[in-house]
Amino acid sequence: MMRKVSVATVVLCCCLLALALLPWFAEKYYIQLFTKMMIMAIFAMSLDLLVGYTGLVSLGHAAYFGLAGYVLAFAAPQYEAASLWVSLPLAMACSGLLALVIGALVLRTSGIYFIMVTLAFAQMVFFVFHDTKIAGGADGIYVYAKPVADIAGWQPFTLENHTHFYFVVLALLVLVYVMLRVLLASLFGRVIVGIRVNEQRMRSLGYRTFGYKLACFVLSGVLAGMAGYFAAAQFGFVSPDLLGWHQSGGVLMMVILGGMGTLNGAVLGAFSMMLLELGFQGLPVVGGMDIGKHWQLLMGGFIVVVVLLLPHGLLGIGRLASRLLRKQEACDA
């Protein structure tokens, strides 16, 4: 057991080191690509807290992601930059508040109901931005300038610089990862995993499960908001698609693909999904059919195959391999 933990830690440290060194070797395009992947990894981890640990399958998680993006767009007056120190907490607070309101309602349900109701409420938020003119309607609005990190005239970093942006997101990724790790190892973490396994039992042990679930829902919404804020800042554009259900379905797929209930899996899933998407989009025209343009067909097929053949995600392959290996050793011995 000790050996296995240390292997995982070594791999993790190597990945972190590689990410930290990347800007010295990669071109601008790849730095921006990895920034986007890390943002999605934060998003995926926030959902994993709900789906993998607490056992709440939310199909409306993009609402909190997108709302934070819109908050940034509102906080930045046209052609002027918003202050990072004001707009980021504001965006996360708004997402948290939305999660609190929706969570208080949807947590009254469970199972299939929960999935459908989270989706329906997210669609409600979608329609608010899609149908009304408050934020450009279906066309969306531009965030012309990236937020400035100004402390009394001194700027520790500038987000307009893509390398600075990259490191800020990397730092946040590590921060969120460590924070969630600590949280999950605490009593709170034990309780929410207990809720997933058997809520009735936790309740009879005297835990007010509703409060724990709501706290998870809100925290998850706040973290999704953080990811959405930086996604909007990087892209420089927000549209209702940011909170649409394709976004919610996509991030759920990332969590499953990597292997839910493990933070490493969520990050791995986010990275591999984005790379896969890029790979599918880059496919050439074959026999008069533009495969790259219709990449969603391959993505859909891929998802179906993963569900049927890889119920534990990509990390499951590793587990399967190590089990087979151990069996082999047992046979040899």
Partner 1 sequence: MDANTFFIQVLNGIQYGLLLFLVASGLTLILGIMGIINLAHGSFYMVGAYLAFSLSQHFGSLWLAMAGGVVIAVGIGLALEWLLISRLYHRDHLYQVLLTYGLILMFEELRSLVFGDDVHGVSVPALLQASIPLTDTLSYPVYRLWMSAVCLALAVGMYLLIQKTRLGMMIRAGSTNREMVQSLGIDIDLLYRLVFALGVALAAFAGMIAAPVASVFPGMGNQVLIVCFVVVVIGGIGSVKGAMLAAILIGLVDTFGKVLTLEIGGVRVLPELSGMMIYVLMAAVLLARPEGLFGKRG
Binding site for partner 1 (CB under 8 A): 51, 57, 59, 105-106, 108-109, 111-113, 115-117, 119-121, 123-124, 127-128, 130-132, 245, 249, 252-253, 256, 260, 289, 294, 296-297, 299-304, 306-308, 311
Total count of residues recorded for the chain? 333
Which CB sits closer to partner 1, 186 or 296?
A: 296
Q: What are φ and ψ of residue 144, in 5° steps?
A: -70, -40
Which CB sits closer to partner 1, 74 or 167?
A: 74
Torsion angle (degrees, nearest 10) of CA 146, 90, 214, 174: 40
User: Around Cβ 78, how many Cβ atoms within 10 Å?
Assistant: 10
Which CB sits closer to partner 1, 132 or 155?
A: 132
Q: What are φ and ψ of residue 238, in 5° steps?
A: -125, 140
Report which residue type is found at 317: I
Which CB sits closer to partner 1, 77 or 311?
A: 311
Token pair belonging to 63: 């609402």
Rounded least distance, CB 59 to partner 1, Å: 6
Rounded least distance, CB 130 to partner 1, Å: 7
Which CB sits closer to partner 1, 77 or 301?
A: 301
Rounded least distance, CB 145 to partner 1, Å: 30
Unique residue bearing structure tokens 């394709």: 246
Token pair belonging to 93: 């607070």
Rounded least distance, CB 110 to partner 1, Å: 9
Token pair belonging to 254: 């990332």
Rounded least distance, CB 253 to partner 1, Å: 6
Token pair belonging to 248: 């919610």
